[in-house]
Amino acid sequence: MVSAQDQIGLIMQLRRRGIRTTRVLRAIERVPRDLFVDQAFVDHAYQDIALPIECGQTISQPFVVAYMTEKLDLDDRHKVLEIGTGSGYQAAVLSHLCRRLYTIERWRELQKAAERRFAKLGITNITTIIGDGWLGWPPQAPFDRIIVTAAAADPPRALLDQLKVGGRMIIPLGESRDSQSLVQIDKTEEGLVETALLPVRFVPLVHGRVKRP
Ligand code: SAH
């Protein structure tokens, strides 16, 4: 059984690790992470660790979710694009801080499961899409913010194009799993400004949609 106490414990842990933005902590508090993890790992849902999900993917560590959310610096007028829906946990947290979230996943199973979770939680400002995140989502561009939750060697060109001037993207970049860095990219009138934030470990941003037989 998961209790309110578990959620409080997680929030305290995030605070200790330096997450101080009240809006972000409150958004995390509103999302029951036990709903987003595999039944087998439900006892670990409120520990600050990444856990395996279906299709060989992972639900990110709560600290990384909180940190990326903080760095996105969202407000409730923002239109946001997420690449890599996965369990839907990061999306659910973001949905409480922005106007509308579009989230792209290449695995249908994951997209469907995430949609069921959003419905169960009464979240109505998320649009899920099956597709290739490398291409972004041109019909809804431009976006105020873009968050990528899988790692690439370089930021996808289409995503940079779909970011508003004055907008920000947070993305893990690195050639291999052992050498990734979370990077903030600000799109200014003068061009792109990149800031390295912290070493991370994400699954790769794969090219193409999942092919069906
Ligand atoms: N944000 C997720 C973490 C997901 S892990 C959560 O909170 O649970 C990264 C996800 O990115 C995986 O589900 C993977 O299938 C997806 N992914 C990888 N490459 C992709 C691509 N090109 N387009 C869309 N999704 C992709």
Active site (annotated) includes residue 176: no
Residue located nearest, by CA, to atom 17 of ligand 1: 84
CA 15 to chain centre: 19
Q: Is the CB of 81 under 6 A from ligand 1?
A: no
Q: Is the CB of 110 under 6 A from ligand 1?
A: yes
pTM score > 0.85 for this model?
A: yes
Which residue range forms the structural domain that includes residue 78? 64-200
pLDDT 10s digits, 139-180? 999 999 999 999 999 999 999 999 999 999 999 999 888 889
Determine, yes or no, domain membership for 13. no
Determine, yes or no, domain membership for 157. yes
Determine, yes or no, domain membership for 207. no
Determine, yes or no, domain membership for 108. yes
Phi, psi (degrees; rounded to nearest 5) at 206: -85, 150
Determine, yes or no, domain membership for 115. yes
Q: Is the CB of 28 under 6 A from ligand 1?
A: no
- As for how many domains the chain has, the answer is 1
Domain containing 76 — which CATH number? 3.40.50.150
**CA separation for the pair 117, 163 (Å, rounded):** 28
Q: What pLDDT is attached to residue 1?
A: 57
Determine, yes or no, domain membership for 44. no
For residue 89, give every residue at least 6 positions away whose Cβ sits within 8 Å of its Cβ, in sequence order, or none: 31, 33, 36, 59, 60, 65
Name the stretches of the chain with pLDDT < 50.
Answer: none
